[in-house]
Amino acid sequence: MPVLTRLIPSPVVVDISAGALDDLAGLLADQRISSSGKLAIAISGGSGAALRDRFAPALPGADWYEVGGGTLDEAIKLADAMKSGRYDAVVGMGGGKIIDCAKYAAARIGLPLVAVATNLSHDGLCSPVATLDNDAGRGSYGVPNPIAIVIDLDVIREAPMRFVRSGVGDVISNISAVADWELSHRETGEDIDGLAAAMARQSGEAVLRHPGGCGDDDFLTVLAEGLVMTGISMSVAGDSRPASGACHEINHAFDLLYPKRAAAHGEQCGLGAAFAMYLRGAREQAAYIVEVLRRHGLPVLPGEIGFTDEEFVKAVEYAPQTRPGRYTILEHLDLSTDAIRDAFADYAKTVSS
Ligand SMILES: [Zn+2]
């Protein structure tokens, strides 16, 4: 008999709620995660200490690893430190950097990863990709999706608001990324995965149209669910396509051209998405995205994150080189520097009026 449906690699536990961490020990004792309680827990050197103080008494079989996160070297060092520990699973407890570091390290030693997210800065919380800095800049590494994801809204509310808002920009940028995917499907014949596109777009639209703000649990729930679903949409598609188009090429260009001054991931992606929607002629949608980003305190002009207009033009021009082979509105229009400058001037005028 043929297989009538496909199986999607996805976490066995998704818990997004206020107080989700109150029974972390019970959740981790799930037979599918760690029946023996032998866990390696990665935390940050700074704010991780408070998490360790809170959870260590309930997790006597756990070893705690302080990591800086962020770089490939750190992730390899963490894997080396953990590899002789006979653990059932690795727990990454912290922000995006710690989770990416733990994700890569867990994949390297063949252990499942539990992601305990303490902020909502990007859609990598539950994705099959770890973003880490290497000698050449910044790389995206394929890894298995987490086996469990826990997001405690009580903890998220304590996170720096800027990092929570960043997730808003990242998930809203899905709308532009899916539009790029559809454009490529029309223009180059690239296959489009309808399920992955649906999951990514629904997540973006839900956050875009939600009337709440980063202070409400209702909104934070939809945002966290959107980020988790977006991560899973990447597993469905087999790459980051559903959540990464021109918006992310512009973001990568900021990271590579101005590494010391780059803003939060979602701040750059949101701005990139607004401009990309404008470029593709979706003026009404672009205007609505701008309005919503503004309402959440996210940047819609480069000056709002410390870049000049000319630096933004340079980033847009460089953007296609950050993702060779990905066809987006930028590759489609293939604009000259002067044309980008003119388009940006029009965009800026519309946004400012
Ligand atoms: Zn992103």
Measured between alpha carbons, how far is 288 from 345 in angstroms, rounded to an integer? 19
CA 316 – ligand 1 centroid, Å: 17
Please report whether residue 222 resides in a domain: no
Tens of pLDDT, residues 192-225: 999 999 999 999 999 999 999 999 999 999 999 9
Shared domain for 153 and 279, answered yes or no, is no
pLDDT > 70 fraction of the chain, expressed in percent and rounded = 99
Domain with 120, as residue range(s), is: 13-28+39-44+51-158
Compute the average pLDDT of residues 331-344. 98
- In angstroms, the CA 256 to CA 4 distance is 44
One DSSP character per residue, 226-238 reads HHHHHHHHHHHHT
**170 CA from centroid of ligand 1 (Å):** 5
Supply the pTM of this predicted model.
0.94
Query: Which of the listed residues 158, 178, 198 is the one where a domain comes to its end?
Result: 158
* 238 phi and psi angles, rounded to 5 deg: 90, -5
Q: What is the CATH number of the domain that holds 176?
A: 1.20.1090.10
- CA distances to 92, 155, 189, 268, 341 from 261, rounded to whole Å, are 27, 28, 37, 12, 22
Domain boundary residue among 158, 175, 199? 158
- Over residues 161-177, mean pLDDT: 96
| 245-301 pLDDT tens trace | 999 999 999 999 998 999 999 999 999 999 999 999 999 999 999 999 999 999 999
The residue-averaged pLDDT of 182-194 equals 98
CATH, residue 152: 3.40.50.1970
Residue 3 is predicted with a pLDDT of 66
**Cβ atoms of 83 and 116 closer than 8 Å:** no
Does a structural domain hold residue 321?
yes
Domain annotation covers residue 91: yes
Q: What is residue 243's predicted lDDT score, i.e. its pLDDT?
A: 97
* 247 and 321 together in one domain: yes
Please answer whether residues 64 and 41 qualify as being in contact, where contact means their C-beta atoms are separated by less than 8 angstroms.
Answer: yes
Report if residue 204 sits inside a domain: yes
Tell whether the model's pLDDT for residue 85 goes beyond 80: yes
Parallel, antiparallel or unpaired: strands 113-117 and 148-152: parallel
Cβ neighbors of 74 (< 8 A, separation 6 or more) are: 67, 68, 101, 132
Run of H or E residues at 115: strand 113-117
Q: Specify whether 283 is located in the same domain as 338.
A: yes
Given a contact cutoff of 8 angstroms between Cβ atoms, the answer to whether 165 and 297 are in contact is: yes
Q: How far is the CA of 78 from the centre of ligand 1 (A)?
A: 24
Would 130 be classed as within a structural domain? Answer: yes
- In eight-state DSSP terms, residue 174 is H
Q: Within this chain, do residues 297 and 310 fall inside the same structural domain, yes or no?
A: yes
Confidence of residue 1 (pLDDT cuts 50, 70, 90): low
In a domain, 226, yes or no: no
Report every protein residue that has its C-beta within 5 angstroms of ion ligand 1.
170
Please indicate, yes or no, whether residues 261 and 336 belong to a single structural domain of this protein: yes
- Distance, CA 299 to ligand 1 centroid (Å)? 16
Q: pLDDT higher for 138 or 235? A: 235
Rounded to the nearest angstrom, the distance between the alpha carbon of 300 and the centre of ligand 1 is: 16
* Domain assignment present for 225: no
Average pLDDT over residues 57-76: 94
SS (H, E, C) 126-141: HCCEEEEEECCEEEEE
- Do 112 and 176 share a structural domain? no
Cα 208 to averaged position of ligand 1 atoms, centre (Å): 15
> Mean pLDDT of all residues in the chain?
95
Do residues 265 and 339 share a domain? yes
Nearest to 243 by CA among 127, 104, 113, 329: 127
| Domains: count for the chain | 2
Residues 188 and 105 in one domain: no
Whether residues 123 and 264 fall in one domain: no
Give residue 252 CA to ligand 1 midpoint distance, Å: 10
Distance 187 CA to ligand 1 centre (A): 24
pLDDT number for residue 136: 80
DSSP label at residue 71: B
* Ligand 1 center–CA 308 separation, angstroms: 23
In this structure, are residues 234 and 144 in contact, taking their beta carbons and an 8 Å threshold? no
Question: Residues 203, 300: one domain?
Answer: yes
Same domain (yes/no): 142, 205: no
Same-domain check for residues 125 and 23:
yes
Whole-angstrom distance, CA of residue 27 vs CA of residue 164:
24
Distance of CA 213 from the midpoint of ligand 1 (Å): 20
